[in-house]
């Protein structure tokens, strides 16, 4: 294994990175196992973010490593256009089992962004297939993150991600976000205030007419914008309004899927079923890139009445890649056999208490959590938004913990295999960082 520093860092244009600052003082990871990364200097770094929210079963999980190794020697690549391979079908069936058969079909992509764009396209094509081709409008939500494809950016609601790339898709509107520090700060789990914000969808229906609206897409818990937990009753209300007007509801579960909230999916946690669900990340424990759209049977079946031929003109070269399928099957096995969700459930209260022990530390203006995801909002430095949290991120890494920051919010989403000592280490070191932050 190459554990030395690269000879040059110039050529790699790094994604979502302050390239100049990083290259002046890099953070280089060279290996990972269980709950820890190791950096190029041999320091152990506790993974407080499951990589990028994508490693629920922990790093270097032996069963997953073995499954991928075996598959690469057996079937390195096979197309899934007009042919297939067994693992793609096996994984799909097992995923349906994993959802308790609430969904009937799964469409593979390579990432969350592709899953989102696929789901949006499916929603448009579904209405068209049923003779409601006028339903072309897509509704997202302010502060939503749905990846970086043009569809996901258009329904997304993070200004910085959008502002350089217009024109985005026409015919898109947004619900208001639900973040309210005045009323909901320091909530545990779902905050009390804000269910009525779902009624804004009625306002959009009145404005645009239901006959023009194809789908609403939201993250059940917004992750990348800083862990925004839905107010009590909000999702149920959104579901009711969608049903009333024949609008499809898509949950983007790229972060919340695969155990993050201590249930298989957020829809299980909240008891609200979407018509489609986009996933990625934990689907393969982050080992091989893969995304997937789960759809209810009625959506899929609407395409099957067409004259014989290809039913959906959409797909990716690597849809259902054998290595990703092997990783996905092994990941589900690890979830089942090693009680990953059960462990998350057992750790949830301890994690929440540890989070709320940060109350009163310098600059902390909100703490919020649900399942094993937490947000810590800091008071911004005047005139320098994001600078305080970024400084915290750098200091935390130097102190041996990986945290994630967005604006002035710290997000924590550790692998679900953690124990109490990991929680103590994570929050102990983070408290130290916060206590010494300018």
Ligand X SMILES: Cc1ncc(COP(=O)(O)O)c(C=O)c1O
Evaluate whether 207 touches 187 at the Cβ level (below 8 Å).
Answer: no
Residue 116 vs 205, nearer CB to ligand X: 116
**Positions 97 through 126 that interact with ligand X (CB under 6 A):** 111-113, 116
Residue 169 vs 398, nearer CB to ligand X: 169
Q: Alpha-carbon distance 180 to 80, whole Å? A: 46
Q: Alpha-carbon distance 415 to 418, whole Å? A: 6
> What does the block give as tokens for 27?
């953070």
Q: How far is the CB of 252 from ligand X (least distance, A)?
A: 4
Report which of 379, 422, 420, 415 is spatially closest to residue 400, judged by C-alpha positions. 422
Closest residue to ligand X, Cβ-based? 112
Q: How far is the CB of 290 from ligand X (least distance, A)?
A: 9
Residue 317 DSSP one-character state:
T
- The 210-249 site mask, x for binding ligand X (CB under 6 A), equals ---------x---xx-------------------------
Q: How far is the CB of 223 from ligand X (least distance, A)?
A: 5
Residue 88 vs 254, nearer CB to ligand X: 254
Whether the ω angle into residue 354 lies within 30 degrees of 0, i.e. cis, is: no
Element at 412 (helix H, strand E)? strand 409-412
Q: Alpha carbon of 204 to those of 120, 141, 159, 312: distances in Å?
A: 18, 12, 21, 29
- The 276-295 site mask, x for binding ligand X (CB under 6 A), equals ----x---------------
Element at 373 (helix H, strand E)? strand 373-378
Residue 116 vs 370, nearer CB to ligand X: 116
Choose which of 103, 145, 270, 397 interacts with ligand X (CB under 6 A).
Answer: 145
HSE toward the beta carbon, residue 97, CA cutoff 13 A: 11
Q: Alpha-carbon distance 388 to 398, whole Å? A: 16
- The 314-353 site mask, x for binding ligand X (CB under 6 A), equals ----------------------------------------
- The 170-209 site mask, x for binding ligand X (CB under 6 A), equals ----------------------------------------
Residue 153 touching ligand X (CB under 6 A): no
Residue 318 vs 427, nearer CB to ligand X: 318
Residue 395 vs 406, nearer CB to ligand X: 406
> What does the block give as tokens for 325?
């399928």
**Positions 245 through 274 that interact with ligand X (CB under 6 A):** 252, 254-255
3-state SS of 221-280? CECCCCCECCCCCHHHHHHHHHHHHCCEEEEECCCCCCCCCCCCCHHHHHCCCCCEEEEC
Interface residues toward ligand X, by CB under 6 A: 111-113, 116, 145-147, 219, 223-224, 252, 254-255, 280
């Amino acid at each position: 294994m190459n554990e030395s520093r690269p000879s040059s860092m110039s050529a790699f244009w790094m994604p979502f990175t302050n390239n100049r600052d990083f290259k002046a003082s890099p953070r280089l990871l060279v290996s990972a196992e269980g709950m820890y990364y190791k950096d190029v200097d041999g320091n152990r770094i506790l993974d407080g973010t499951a990589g990028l929210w994508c490693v629920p079963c922990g790093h270097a999980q032996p069963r997953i490593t073995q499954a991928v190794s075996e598959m690469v020697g057996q079937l390195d690549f096979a197309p899934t256009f007009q042919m297939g391979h067994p693992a793609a079908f096996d994984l799909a069936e097992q995923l349906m089992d994993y959802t308790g058969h609430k969904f009937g079909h799964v469409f593979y992509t390579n990432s969350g962004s592709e899953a989102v764009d696929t789901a949006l396209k499916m929603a448009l094509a579904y209405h068209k297939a049923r003779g409601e081709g006028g339903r072309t409008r897509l509704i997202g939500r302010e502060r939503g993150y749905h990846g970086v494809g043009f569809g996901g950016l258009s329904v997304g609601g993070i200004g910085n991600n959008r502002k350089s790339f217009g024109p985005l898709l026409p015919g898109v509107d947004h619900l208001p976000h639900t973040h309210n520090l005045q009323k909901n700060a320091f909530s545990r789990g779902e905050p009390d205030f804000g269910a009525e914000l779902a009624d804004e969808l009625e306002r959009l229906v009145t404005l645009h007419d239901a006959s023009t609206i194809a789908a609403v897409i939201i993250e059940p818990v917004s992750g990348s914008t800083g862990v925004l937990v839905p107010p009590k009753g909000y999702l149920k209300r959104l579901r009711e309004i969608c049903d009333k007007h024949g609008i499809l509801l898509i949950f983007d579960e790229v972060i919340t899927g695969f155990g993050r909230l201590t249930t298989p999916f957020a829809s299980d946690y909240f008891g609200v079923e979407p018509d489609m669900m986009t996933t990625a990340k934990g689907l393969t424990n982050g080992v091989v890139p893969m995304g997937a759209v789960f759809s209810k049977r009625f959506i899929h079946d609407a395409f099957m009445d067409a004259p014989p031929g290809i039913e959906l003109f959409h797909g990716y070269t690597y849809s259902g890649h054998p290595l990703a399928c092997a990783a996905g099957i092994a990941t589900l096995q690890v979830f089942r056999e090693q009680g990953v969700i059960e462990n998350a459930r057992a750790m949830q209260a301890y994690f929440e208490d540890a989070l709320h022990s940060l109350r009163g530390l310098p600059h902390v203006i909100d703490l919020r959590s649900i399942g094993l995801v937490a947000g810590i909002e800091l008071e911004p430095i005047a005139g320098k938004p994001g600078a305080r949290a970024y400084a915290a991120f750098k200091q935390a890494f130097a102190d041996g913990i990986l945290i994630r920051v967005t604006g002035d919010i710290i997000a924590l989403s550790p692998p679900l295999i953690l124990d109490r000592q990991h929680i103590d280490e994570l929050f102990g070191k983070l408290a130290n960082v916060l206590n010494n932050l300018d």
